[in-house]
């Protein structure tokens, strides 16, 4: 074994050990502590029963999942045609669109929330669905890069020219040719939007809407063990939900390949 390989193994081992110390051990310790009774060493589900019985738990959770799903769908419908056009016919506009998509990273959240809300139609301002548009905006820097990398990895112009020469319309070209080719990028963009929407707190609190992240801040102040149980539930629940979505996306991809 040469020194270069040995150095690589040492770096990987160090990274794994550091990750276990900083991430895995605290999660395991918090999980164990959330099942304990105060003052004794017995284990119980009282903290989780308390969590589920709290007012607003189910409604805020359902609201967050609904808004996150809508944000993911809207982001895909908005960004996929845009990115395809930029990479096929609008290369001269690509730098401008990239600049616009990066702006949510540099604009202060307060300015973004209050400023953007003031120009929205009144019928949207008065509903929780205005958060969907904000979730899409804060996810733009990440979804742009995910879709662009996926489009750069396929012979896009060749696929478009072949589809158009066979008489396919632009809508059919995008849905039946380009979308299957860049499915990994679309899945990544959907996951990123969904994950960011699930954890978004600042904009939601500034606009005075109650979603699961804002509800957790209030509920966590009522019970210490319940707060720990809440954090574990949020982490494990989000992780399992993303895993289910990943498995569903993988099964859909395998079925489409089998059909083709």
Query: pLDDT tens digits for the chain (260 residues)?
Result: 577 788 888 788 888 888 888 777 877 877 777 777 766 667 777 778 888 888 888 888 899 889 999 999 999 999 998 998 888 888 888 889 999 989 888 888 888 887 777 778 777 878 888 899 999 999 999 999 989 988 888 888 888 888 888 888 888 888 888 888 888 888 888 888 888 888 888 888 888 888 888 888 888 777 777 777 877 887 777 777 777 766 765 555 555 454 44
* Nearest to 199, CA basis, from 54, 1, 104, 67: 67
Rounded Cα distance, 23 and 157, in Å: 44
Is there a contact between 71 and 132 (Cβ–Cβ < 8 Å)? yes
> What is the C-alpha separation between 146 and 94, in angstroms, rounded?
15
Q: Is the whole model's pTM more than 0.75, yes or no?
A: yes
DSSP 8-state secondary structure symbol assigned to residue 105: G
Closest C-alpha among 209, 199, 189 to residue 75: 189
Closest to 197 (Cα-Cα) out of 242, 146, 145: 242
CATH of 70-207, one of 3.40.50.10860, 3.20.20.140, 1.10.3720.10, 3.30.930.10: 1.10.3720.10
User: Whole-angstrom Cα distance, residue 240 to residue 246?
Assistant: 10
């Amino acid at each position: 074994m040469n020194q270069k390989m040995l150095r690589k193994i040492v770096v990987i081992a160090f990274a794994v050990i550091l990750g276990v110390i900083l991430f895995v051990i605290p999660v395991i310790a918090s999980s164990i502590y959330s099942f304990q009774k105060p003052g004794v060493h017995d284990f119980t589900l009282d903290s989780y029963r308390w969590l589920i019985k709290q007012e607003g738990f189910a409604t805020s959770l359902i609201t967050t999942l609904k808004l996150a799903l809508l944000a993911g769908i809207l982001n895909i419908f908005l960004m996929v045609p845009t990115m395809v056009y930029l990479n096929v016919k609008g290369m001269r506009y690509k730098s401008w669109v990239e600049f616009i998509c990066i702006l949510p990273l540099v604009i202060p959240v307060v300015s973004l929330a209050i400023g953007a809300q003031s120009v929205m139609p009144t019928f949207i301002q008065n509903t929780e669905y205005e958060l969907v548009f904000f979730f899409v905006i804060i996810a733009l820097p990440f979804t742009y890069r995910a879709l662009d990398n996926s489009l750069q990895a396929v012979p896009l112009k060749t696929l478009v020219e072949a589809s158009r020469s066979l008489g396919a319309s632009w809508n059919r070209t995008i849905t039946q040719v380009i979308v299957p080719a860049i499915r990994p990028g679309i899945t990544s963009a959907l996951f990123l939007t969904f994950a960011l929407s699930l954890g978004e707190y600042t904009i939601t609190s500034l606009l005075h809407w109650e979603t699961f992240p804002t509800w957790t801040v209030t509920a966590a102040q009522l019970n210490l063990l319940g707060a720990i149980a809440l954090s574990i539930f949020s982490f494990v629940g989000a992780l399992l939900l993303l895993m289910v979505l990943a498995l569903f996306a993988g099964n859909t991809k395998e079925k489409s390949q089998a059909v083709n």
